[in-house]
Structure formats: C-alpha cells, structure tokens
Amino acid sequence: MSTYSDAPVANRNVKGRSRNRWFTQVGWRHLVGVLAVAFSLFPILFVLSAALNPLGTLSSTELVPTGASMENFTNLFERTAFGHWFLNSLLLAGVASFASIFLSALAAYAFSRMRFAGRRVGLLSLLLIQMFPQFLAIVAIFLIFTTVTDLWPAIGFNTPWGLFLLYMGAALGANTWLMKGFFDTLPKELDESATMDGASHAQVFFRIMLPLVAPILAVTGLLAFIGSINEFLIANVFLTNTNSKTLAVGMFGLVAGERNNNFGIFAAGTLLTAIPTVLVFQLLQRYIVSGLTAGAVKG
C-alpha cells in the first residue's frame, strides 16, 4: 500500500526537478529575453501613445491613450515645415553616406593594397584626427563658411551642400579604417591573378573587390546614414532658415521652448523620422547577415 501511495509524490518530485533543471538551463534565458523586449518596447509604446494623444501634451500622455486620434500628425504638417525637414534630411543623409562610402572605399583600397611614400603617416594622421571631435573646430569652420557664403552662396550657410562638405570630412577617417581592415582580410592572390589577366586597378577594385566587401559597405553605409540624419550640433549652427533645417534641428525647435504643449507633435514627428532608418536597415540587413555568417565559417 505504501508503494502505491508514494508513487504520485515521486512523480511530482521528478516533475519538479525537471522544471527546475529546465529553468536553470533554458528558462532564465526566456525570462531575460522577455524583460529585454519589454524594456526596449516601453519607450516606443510611450512615444506612440503620445503621438495618438488628442491633447498633445506631455502631462496628459498615458501608456494607453484615451480617445486616440491622428490630430498630432495633421498639426505636424500644417503648423510646421516638417516636409522640408524630412526631404532635407533624406537628401543630405543619402548623398553624404553614399559619397563617404565611395571615397572611403577608394582610400581603404589604396592603403591596403598599394605601397607608397607617406602611407603609414597618412594612416596615423587619419587615426589621430578622429581622436578630436569636429565640434572643437566649430569657430574656425564658422569663420570659413562666413567667407564661403559671401563668395559661393550655393555651398554656404542654410544649404544642404555646405553641410554635406562638413559631414564628409568627419566620416572619411573612421570609414577608411574600418574598410581597410576588411580589405586586409582578402587574399592578395585575387589582385595578382586579375592583374596577370590584364585587369587595371580600377577593374580590380570595381569588379572584384567591391562585391567581396559588400558587408562592410553595408555596415559603414548604415552608420553613415544614421549619423548624418541624427546629427544636431553642427547642423544647428549652420542651418537657421526654417525651410533649410534638418529633422534633428527642426524637431528640437518644437520642444525647445514649449516642451509640454508640443510634445504630441514632437512624438508624431519622431515616429515618422524613424521610417527612413528602418527602411535602410531592412534594405541592408541581408548584406550584414551574410557578412556575419561568412566570417563565422573558417575557410
């Protein structure tokens, strides 16, 4: 009789030990993952709630909005120059990221594959310059562009092309170093065999090297795009005209003086601002993933 009565207790003990073993080995990972997702989604849900809040103020924002409406999105386009800011940021970030990737790839290929006088000094100079933020030279740059604006207004203050030139100088050094390390991993036999077949340096670069370094191009392109579209300090100094502002500068103006009253419009703008970055990431995701998987397999 005691054997039959002890069987359910033994089964419960076995199940309890199995659950404990599952939690210690696997279950805690699920718990950490759920907490991480909740921690990441909370700001997004709060901003989404603020954007849908019909009152449009910070003090009235709740996690679950009452009487949700699209009024903040309508006011964003009617009361501000958000359309101009959006187009300016897309133009500036797209052109700046593409140009910085192209020029950085050319420089990285030269530093990685060619031997010339001043090569080491040039690499060390790029690294040294990157140690100092560009904003340290803002006074000198401002004085330079004051003269440039008088002589060539098309690339002066309140123009995306003038700001584009500034962004190019800041991005080339870091991108060149990242790409050079990737070029160094490619076997030099590829260059030598193509050269033996009669290919020029340009043909080797465009037809052989660029397809092989697509993952690092995607990574640097994404970083350059995000950095350009989110940059605020220099853009706030050089862009004062309402229609020439970028998203970062224009959106800051909404909450600089009346943070509580314009918070709903600001939240609506931040949701729309995130769309280009998400689309670029989705476009480049397969290149980034392929580069990670290719680097994880030896040989």
Of 38-42, 65-69, 163-167, 182-186, the one with minimum mean pLDDT is 65-69
Q: What is the b/e burial string over 174-202, where b = at least 16 CB atoms within 10 angstroms of the residue's CB?
A: bbbbbbbebbeeeeeeebeebeeeebeee
> Per-residue pLDDT for 16 more than 60?
no
- Between CA 11 and CA 7 the distance in angstroms is 6
| SS3 annotation, the chain | CHHHHHHHHHHHHHHHHHHHHHHHHHHHHHHHHHHHHHHHHHHHHHHHHHHHCCCCCCCCCCCCCCCCCCHHHHHHHHHCCHHHHHHHHHHHHHHHHHHHHHHHHHHHHHHHHCCCCCHHHHHHHHHHHHCCCHHHHHHHHHHHHHHHHHHCHHHCCCCHHHHHHHHHHHHHHHHHHHHHHHHHCCCCHHHHHHHHCCCCHHHHHHHHHHHHCHHHHHHHHHHHHHHHHHCCHHHHHHCCCHHHCCHHHHHHHHHHCCCCCCHHHHHHHHHHHHHHHHHHHHHHHHHHHHHHHHHHCCC
Cβ atoms of 58 and 50 within 8 Å: the answer is yes
- Between CA 165 and CA 155 the distance in angstroms is 8
Provide the pLDDT confidence category of residue 223 given band limits of 50, 70 and 90. confident
Longest dimension (CA), the chain: 104
| Mean pLDDT of all residues in 155-172 | 80
pLDDT on residue 14: 55
> Per-residue pLDDT for 277 more than 70?
yes
- Between CA 209 and CA 188 the distance in angstroms is 11
Compute the chain's Rg from CA coordinates. Answer: 27
Residue carrying structure tokens 């330079």: 144
pLDDT on residue 187: 86
Residue 25's identity, in one-letter code, is Q
- Between CA 276 and CA 11 the distance in angstroms is 56
More confident residue, 268 or 66: 268
Cβ atoms of 93 and 229 within 8 Å: the answer is yes
| Mean pLDDT of all residues in 220-244 | 86
| Mean pLDDT of all residues in 161-179 | 79
| Mean pLDDT of all residues in 158-186 | 81
As given in the structure block, the two tokens for residue 47 are 């901003």
> Per-residue pLDDT for 231 more than 70?
yes
As given in the structure block, the two tokens for residue 53 are 């809040």
Share of the chain above pLDDT 70, in %: 83
- Between CA 114 and CA 104 the distance in angstroms is 15
| Mean pLDDT of all residues in 29-56 | 83
In this prediction the pTM is 0.79
